[in-house]
Amino acid sequence: MTFYRSTSLETGVQMAYAEAGDSSKPTLLLLHGFPSSSHQYRNLIPLLSDRFHIIAPDLPTFGLTVVPENFQATFAALTDAVTGLLDALQISSFIPYVFDYGAPVAYRLALQRPKSFAGLIVQNGNAYEEGLSQWWDPLRKFWKTEKGTEDWHKIREQLRDAVDLEQAKSQYTSGLSSDLISQIDPNAYHLDFLLNMSSEDKVNNQLDLFYDYQHNVALYPEFQKFFRESQLKTLILWGKNDIYFPPTGAVAYEADLKDTKLRIFDDGSHFLLETHVVQVAEAIKDFLPETGR
């Protein structure tokens, strides 16, 4: 069974999360990406919960997590919320499964608590400049423009086109064959839109995170230093046809993490779990046999 819970953090965030499995077993911390929530792991959790204790939070400004009115949408704040949840649940050791936005959240957490990481699973989650495709060019322009200026506001308004239902759908379907697109459940991206993009406040939160992502890029050298110093046992799973994070970003990890298993799915794309969830689950079980370590 998967249980859907929530807990109040000291910051005023009401953190929603899914939990499954035996808490005495190794914990997998599933961190979702844009524009989704823990819902993206709905098909993976049942395939792994017999072997692992699983925690899948809705990051603040996503899913069913509720934030206070004065909440500032930054990746530092998202990381603080995950830290608060782990403390509330008394989880001191875990293996993160990172995807998209979940990657910088996990790596920021690693800079704070490096000894808590018992391994690493990366799925289309970037930590290298070469892993950012041309899709990021408008955001790079946004980052280089002085905040609050007329040009800055103009670019921000233009980026609203990236926060709508069609773009949510594109996150799931871009790079896939027609046969694989037919396997995508439309409820997934419709739910993403309703939960994360369907009001002015929600759109503004997403635009704030677009702007703040530059601070993740600035931390890439620190993330990479953590990889080199920790030498975590790492599994990298990647959809080759991801238009946001191309597989050059997957290969880049191997320069810093020596105990790495890399698998690139030639017909996969960004939301790999929508089309290859069984293969991903088997890869994780092979990577973390028996004890999960």
Which residues are catalytically annotated?
270
DSSP 8-state symbol, 248: H
| Torsion of Cα atoms, 36 then 103 then 120 then 52, to 10° | -30
* Closest by CA position to 181, among listed 136, 241, 102, 221: 241
Residue with tokens 């990746």: 75
Estimate the crossing angle of helix 150-158 against helix 137-144, to 10 degrees.
160
* Helices within 89-199 (DSSP H only): 102-112, 137-144, 150-158, 165-173, 178-181, 186-196
Q: Where does residue 20 fall: left (phi above 0), alpha (psi -120 to 50 degrees), or beta otherwise?
A: beta
Strand partners, 123: 237
Rounded Cα distance between 111 and 91, Å, is 17
Q: 131 near 246, Cβ under 8 Å?
A: yes
| Cα→Cα distances 198→32, 43, 194, 221, Å | 19, 25, 5, 35
